[in-house]
């Protein structure tokens, strides 16, 4: 870690949200400006899907900066917001923590059973908001994987939850080699900023089995924005109700897309694996 040119000790939490793994750096007192290769090394050392920095914010409880494991900075991460919210709620004793990201200001609160809820705001459904390279019906875009005349994956629904998502609805999510298929869609020409790729199996109107290939991170045990995107796309297509349990490899997230204000609420577990101080 000595490659990061800091000399002061910094607090770091290793946490996960439903298995989605994070290295969270407390940058409120000590600046934290790692280079791309340093983020990659941190992610490797901590076995983290994302690296997070909690920074001071003049108006909110904190600003959250997010890097994927490949070193790219991104605008949103739902499970990381729940983990950072858990830390801030514990520090302040507040009922709600407001966390600003590059995408939006999000609000985290306690839920029953030690769970944490984050209000992810409204999904973005305009083709230019996702963004797509050209105007297209976002309920099923022109992406096909496999033979042109008989593709085994085609026409994913797309939505942005502060980051882009393409969701394929499949009969059996376990039947697909996601590490092989995910990269084919992640940087498809239709997605100029890349995309997260969800494989969603609707079990019933209140349950979805989901696996996600995350842009810049690969196959992860959970993806919070991916779960929100899958529920929104499923409810929009009348495949499910507007509230459902999303079963991911690392745990279950409950997603509700409220009709009253169009906001998406995500509720699920967080785990603090360890806390340490390191010299940067």
**Residue 143 and residue 166 in contact, taking contact as beta carbons nearer than 8 Å:** yes
Look at residue 161 and give its three-state secondary structure: coil
Neighbour count for residue 96 (Cβ, 10 Å): 15
Do β-strands 50-55 and 20-26 pair in parallel, antiparallel, or remain unpaired?
parallel
**What does the alpha-carbon distance between residue 69 and residue 63 come to, in Å, rounded to a whole number?**
19
Burial of 155 (0-12, 13-18, 19+ CB in 10 A): middle
Beta bridge partners of 248: 251
Q: To 5 degrees, how large is the angle CA 157–CA 109–CA 262?
A: 35
**What does the alpha-carbon distance between residue 248 and residue 246 come to, in Å, rounded to a whole number?**
6
The closest of 229, 219, 217, 218 to 253, measured between CA atoms, is 229
Assess whether 83 carries a catalytic annotation: no
Q: Which candidate in 83, 223, 228, 233 is catalytic?
A: 223
**Residue 239 and residue 167 in contact, taking contact as beta carbons nearer than 8 Å:** no
Q: Which candidate in 77, 83, 228, 233 is catalytic?
A: 77
Q: The tokens of 49 are what?
A: 């899907």
Assess whether 223 carries a catalytic annotation: yes
Look at residue 87 and give its three-state secondary structure: helix
Which are the catalytic amino acids? 77, 223
């Amino acid at each position: 870690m000595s490659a990061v040119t800091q000399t002061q000790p910094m607090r770091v939490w290793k946490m996960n949200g439903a298995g989605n793994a994070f290295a969270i750096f407390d940058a409120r007192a000590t600046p934290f400006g790692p280079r791309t290769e340093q983020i990659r090394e941190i992610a490797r050392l901590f076995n983290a899907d994302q690296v997070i920095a909690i920074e001071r914010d003049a108006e909110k409880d904190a600003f959250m900066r997010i890097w994927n494991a490949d070193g790219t900075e991104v605008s949103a991460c739902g499970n990381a917001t729940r983990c950072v919210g858990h830390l801030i709620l514990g520090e302040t004793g507040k009922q709600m923590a407001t966390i600003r990201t590059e995408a939006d200001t999000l609000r985290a609160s306690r839920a029953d059973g030690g769970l944490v809820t984050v209000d992810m705001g409204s999904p973005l459904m305009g083709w230019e908001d996702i963004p797509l390279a050209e105007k297209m019906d976002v309920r099923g875009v022109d992406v096909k994987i496999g033979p042109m005349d008989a593709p085994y994956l085609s026409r994913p629904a797309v939505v942005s939850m502060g980051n882009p998502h393409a969701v394929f609805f499949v009969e059996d999510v376990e039947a697909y080699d996601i590490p092989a298929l995910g990269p084919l869609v992640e940087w498809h020409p239709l997605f100029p900023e890349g995309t997260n790729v969800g494989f969603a199996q609707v079990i019933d109107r209140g349950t979805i089995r989901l696996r996600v290939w995350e842009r810049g991170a690969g196959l992860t045990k959970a993806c919070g924005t991916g779960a929100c995107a899958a529920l929104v796309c499923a409810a929009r297509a009348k495949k499910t109700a507007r509230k459902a349990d999303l079963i991911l490899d690392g745990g279950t997230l409950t997603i509700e897309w409220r009709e009253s204000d169009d906001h998406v609420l995500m509720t699920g577990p967080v785990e603090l694996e360890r806390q340490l101080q390191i010299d940067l």
